[in-house]
Amino acid sequence: MSEVDLTYDAFLGGLVHLWQPRTGYRAGVDPVLLAASIPAVSGQRVLELGCGVGAAILCLGARVEGLVLTGVEREAVYAGLAMRNGGSSLEVVEADLAALPLTVRERQFDHVLANPPYWRRLASVATGDTLREAALGEQTPLYLWVQTAAKRLAPKGMLHLIHRAERLPELLAALPRDMGSIEVLPIAAREGRGAERIILRARKSGRADFRLHTPLILHCGDLHIDGDQYTPKVRAALRAGAALDF
């Protein structure tokens, strides 16, 4: 992909810059919110499945220094851009999560995160863009994302996923029996509206009760108005790299 086909975009108020395809799938709010929700500490090992150009894992690395970061990406174009974006701070493995190489399977991680494709293609129409379709259209079953992520966790390690709210029952059903301390953060566009996204967190061998948190509201006001309408908590996560505690 030539330079003219790319853009160089700022995230976290300029703490992170990413090369992305000019057309097709481009990282937005969701991977940044996912990264903000992960309570990682320096020295921990982090794996992202389907890392794309590296938006989520590099935003996490910018917030928490000293993490050991690994991303797995199937699409060669995205994997190459993730390598370019992360440099020496991010190990990128070009592989399908359904067939992880031994170099990944022999390791365990303190945190595993993923932003799986949102759309089941039996119930929706595929896009005409190959790379966009790879990011948005579900080709690998959702349960396999969950189970692969759980297998890569160290004891007491944490799984973090962001997805559409209506897929929550599938996500919960896919969790292996040794995953507990499950928490769900609904994400709604505005006050009084239903959640469109959720962040799911679970811990290997966790024993705490299930927790359904108060929804995170993205925007102030009842109607869309041009300009930045993010609520203060969301703006701090998106623009300043603040943690999204829940």
Q: How far apart are CA 113 and CA 51, in angstroms?
A: 9
pLDDT per residue rounded down to tens, the chain (246 residues) = 678 999 999 999 999 999 999 988 899 999 999 999 999 999 999 999 999 999 999 999 999 999 999 999 999 999 999 999 999 999 999 999 999 999 999 999 999 999 999 866 455 455 555 554 454 456 799 999 999 999 999 999 999 999 999 999 999 999 999 999 999 999 999 999 999 999 999 999 999 999 999 999 999 987 766 667 999 999 999 999 999 998
* Pair 185, 33: CB distance under 8 Å: no
- 3.40.50.150, 3.30.70.2740, 3.40.50.10490, 3.90.79.10: which CATH number matches 3-240? 3.40.50.150
Buried b (16+ CB within 10 A) or exposed e, 184-216: bbbbbeeeeeebebbbbbbbbebeeeeeeeebb
* Pair 177, 146: CB distance under 8 Å: no
The residue extents of the domains of the chain are 3-240
**What's the chain's length in residues?**
246
